[in-house]
Amino acid sequence: MAKEAFSVTFIVLILLLFANSTVSAEEKEPPFLEKANVDIKGDEDKHYEVQQDITIGNISSLEDEEIMHTLTNINDVQVDNLTFTSADDDLTYTVEEKDALDKYILDLTEFEGDTFNYQVSYTAQLDNEEFTVPLFVPEFGSIAEENIVDIHFEAPEEMVLQLNSFPVVKGNEGNSDTNYMMNIPSHVKYVFYTETKHFNLFNIIGWGSLVAFLLVVFVWIRGEVKKKKGAV
């Protein structure tokens, strides 16, 4: 009887240890990008207004109570009027400047909860022929298998978005478009002019690739014909 009681107790202890380890493993799952909406507006003077609405899931597992964001220093574009807010309250952040990118570290010591929603707002002034706008990218990526990032861009009414934009414009010809992605890209490049330009870098690359392919096929066919003639 004593042996049976010991065996039962031992099994219960093993099950409890297994359950605790499972709970611990679940608690250690890292935060992830749950969803994001990016809204960008550009005017005739190349002045851009950017609004990013970001939701991070499983934030309670964050150990150091901060979120790091990267902002690429692409084409030396500077951001102004930067604010981080959540529920209309300003959030505290610090900046670490690097050569290729800057790190913006958001302080979350006063936040409690499992899902964290916040907004990033800023402006940028671009040069005349510049269209690349950097975006703030949180350190946590998406774990979803579908697109959870919406990016909407709007140019002035008289402008037309070009095919050599990034993300690629898929909507009807006009001054605005919405793209859906799995994660927040480091930048966007919505090219716009007063009319559609059929001769641009996008088309040059496309036609160049086609010509190169046709040349390879032509050389291969010519070589095969010569081989057959030599065999005869």
pLDDT tens-digit map of 99-133: 999 999 999 988 989 999 999 999 999 998 999 99
Res 170: pLDDT: 82
pLDDT tens-digit map of 5-22: 545 455 545 555 554 544
Q: What DSSP string describes 85-149?
A: EETTEE--EEEEE-SSEEEEEEE-TT--SS-EEEEEEEEEE--TT--EEE--EES-----SS--E
Report the CATH architecture of 32-201.
Sandwich (2.60)
pLDDT tens-digit map of 187-202: 999 999 998 765 555 4
pLDDT tens-digit map of 144-161: 999 999 999 999 999 999
Bridge partners (DSSP) of residue 176 are: 154
Task: Give me the residue spans of the domains in the chain.
Answer: 1-30, 32-201
Using CA atoms, how far apart are residues 38 and 23, in angstroms rounded to an integer?
35
Per the CB < 8 A criterion, the answer to whether 116 and 86 are in contact is yes
Per the CB < 8 A criterion, the answer to whether 59 and 108 are in contact is yes
Locate 168 and state its tokens. 């690629």
User: For 168, which DSSP code?
Assistant: P
Q: Which amino acid is at 135?
A: L
Asked whether the predicted pLDDT for residue 206 surpasses 50, the reply is: no
Using CA atoms, how far apart are residues 59 and 129, in angstroms rounded to an integer?
40
Give the residue, 206 or 26, on which the prediction is more confident.
Answer: 26
Taking the CB of residue 8, how many other CB atoms lie within 10 A of it? 10
Taking the model in full, what pTM does it have?
A: 0.76
Res 173: pLDDT: 84
Q: Which amino acid is at 149?
A: V
Peptide bond preceding 156 in cis form (omega within 30 of 0):
no
Res 172: pLDDT: 75
Using CA atoms, how far apart are residues 117 and 89, in angstroms rounded to an integer?
12
User: For 45, which DSSP code?
Assistant: T
Res 12: pLDDT: 47
Res 210: pLDDT: 44
- Give, in order, the Cα–Cα distances in Å from 142 to each of 55, 135, 154, 180, 183: 11, 16, 25, 13, 6
User: For 166, which DSSP code?
Assistant: B
Q: Are strands 137-138 and 66-72 parallel, antiparallel or unpaired?
A: antiparallel
pLDDT tens-digit map of 25-62: 455 689 999 999 999 999 999 999 999 999 999 999 99
Q: How far is CA 175 from the centre of its chain?
A: 22
Give the residue, 16 or 222, on which the prediction is more confident.
Answer: 222
- Residue 209: which residues within 8 A CB-CB, separation 6 or more? none
